[in-house]
Amino acid sequence: MEFETITYDVRDRIGRLHFNRPEGANAVNPTFARELRAAMLEIAYDDEVKAVAITAEGKVFCAGGDLKQFHAWGDQMARHAHDMLVDFHAAIHMMNHTPKPFIAGVRGAAGGAGMSLMSSFDLVVSGESAKYTMAYTRAGVTPDGTSSYFVARHIGLRRMLDLTLTNRVLSADEAEAWGLVNRVVPDDDVDQATVDLAASMASGATSALGEAKRVVYNGIDATLETAGEFEAKMITKAMATADGLEGVAAFVEKRAPEFE
């Protein structure tokens, strides 16, 4: 499939999604949102893909919404933005419901919708000089990109309000300390570190990883009883698989597992 704003290919069981609109700071516009949704659909139904690495071309991971495009829409901005968000949010929903790990590598900056999108990935590798900011209210608008769900859960309500109302800019180290990113590496190592992390998952018990993702996200909003019931259902399901049997046997026999 040919794209304008992203590139996508599959190598070594890793889906490699690369934002490729550096001249526009990889900002979200209708084409980007539509293509991101199409890529997520392809990933969801490709059994060859076991993990996904998301990186970006240029100095900025994603600068947020394309405000120049929004301005050009004039008094029709709200209507066109709504259409774009149907695709953008659908892409995020699909990624979250796909039982495969998605790992983002952020260089430069993630702001506005870029920060929202980054926060929706399962794991995030950050460059040491990367910056993070919500930026929405600075432009006179409110958050989107499911940030009210993901960012608030990663860092807590009080910090989410701080970022949203003050447009505070976080350094990479601050973002790691707050729980917004998972690890910080030198800027030049971001892309490779992201692929390496995806590769480590693609070579593991991929079924268990995908289902474990479902268990964690399910537990966020579940009651104690519901979470426990779902966990029991999922772990016993995993125990009945070849990887589950092999993993337990390898642990008992003190050897490296050979997952299918």
Cβ pair 95, 121 in contact under 8 A: yes
Are 241 and 125 in a shared domain? Answer: no
Are 140 and 195 in a shared domain? Answer: yes
For residue 257, with 0-12 CB atoms within 10 Å meaning exposed, 13-18 middle and 19 or more buried, which class applies?
middle
Q: Residue 260: its pLDDT value, please?
A: 80
Are 40 and 162 in a shared domain? Answer: yes
Please, which pLDDT band fits residue 2 given cuts at 50, 70 and 90? confident
Answer with the one of 178, 202, 226 that is the final residue of a domain: 202
Cβ pair 151, 115 in contact under 8 A: yes
Nearest Cα to Cα of residue 20 among 52, 58, 69, 63: 58
Give a yes or no: residue 259 inside a domain.
no
Are 214 and 190 in a shared domain? Answer: no
CATH number of the domain enclosing 84: 3.90.226.10
Q: Which residue has 């084409």 as its token pair?
A: 31
| 245 contacts: CB under 8 Å, gap ≥ 6 | 239
pLDDT tens digits, 194-252: 999 999 999 999 999 999 999 999 999 899 999 999 999 999 999 999 999 999 999 99
Are 174 and 104 in a shared domain? Answer: yes
Task: List the domain range (segments joined by +) for residue 241.
Answer: 206-253
Count of domains in the chain?
A: 2
Are 135 and 240 in a shared domain? Answer: no
Rounded to 5°, the CA angle 44-39-118 comes to 95
Are 151 and 233 in a shared domain? Answer: no
